[in-house]
Amino acid sequence: MEKISIDRNAFLYPMPVVLVGTKSSGQVNFLTVAWVSRVNYNPPLIAVALGKTHFSSAGIKECGEFSVCVPGKDLLEKVDCCGLVSGKRVDKSGLFDVFYGELGCAPMISGCPLCMECRLIETVDLPTNNLFIGEILSAWTEERHLTDGKPDVRKMEPLTLTMPDNRYWSVGETIGRAWHDGKGLLPRLKGKKT
């Protein structure tokens, strides 16, 4: 099939959706973010990309702390709302029951199946965004979201996002085992002379 070039402002399919929790001048705020990724295994680091002018960016710069909360699909309306309006204009904290772990500026959401509290370790200055890299100090869940002691995506029911069609999607069926299902192809690969 013929390859065609499309808008270079292309996206990943699908993107995970999280709520980033911050405190700015004492105000708890939550921002919907899909530009988020783990970036280092040990210590566990996570990066979130936020617009430089966002209220949440000011909070992270002020406090050096933030949270990353993974919402379930029962929170879809509230998740979307937190991406529609700035904490500069309204107080979004009343949408959620908030709890804290060890950090005072990393508010977390009781209704989210997984929350991570993070201490900022590096800020990467990009053209319009800041990439905030945080060390995950603690991760919080509830027994009902676990299977064999591990978070179970079927119980958490997280959201994913696609752009530019701007749709939320659930997670579908399990279709394979990672670091396993490709083993049958290994004999086909040619070894290199060393």
Window 22-51: residues binding a second copy (CB under 8 A): 35-47, 49
10 lies in the binding site for a second copy (CB under 8 A) = yes
Nearest approach in angstroms of CB 25 to a second copy is: 11
Binder among 61, 62, 64, 73 for a second copy (CB under 8 A): 73
Name the minimum Å distance from CB 190 to a second copy: 5
Least distance (Å) between residue 62 CB and a second copy = 17
- Hey, which residues between 119 and 148 contact a second copy (CB under 8 A)? 122, 124, 126-129, 131, 133, 136-144, 146-147
Interface size with a second copy, residues (CB under 8 A): 115
d(CA 37, CA 125): 17
Cβ neighbours of residue 55 closer than 8 Å, sequence gap 6 or more: 22, 24, 29, 31, 86, 87, 88
Minimum distance, C-beta of residue 152 to a second copy, in the bound complex (Å): 7
- Are 20 and 66 in contact by the 8 Å Cβ rule? The answer is yes
Smallest distance from the beta carbon of 34 to a second copy, in angstroms? 8
Told to check if 1 binds a second copy by CB under 8 A, we report yes
Q: Write out the two tokens for 32.
A: 């919907």
**What's the burial of 10, exposed, middle or buried (CB within 10 Å: 0-12/13-18/19+)?**
exposed
- Selection from 63, 25, 69 nearest residue 48 by Cα: 69
- Which tokens is 85 given? 């309006």
Examine residue 171 and tell whether it contacts a second copy (CB under 8 A).
yes
Which two structure tokens, joined as six digits, stand for 187? 């004999």
Site for a second copy in 87-106 (CB under 8 A): 88-92, 94-95, 99, 101
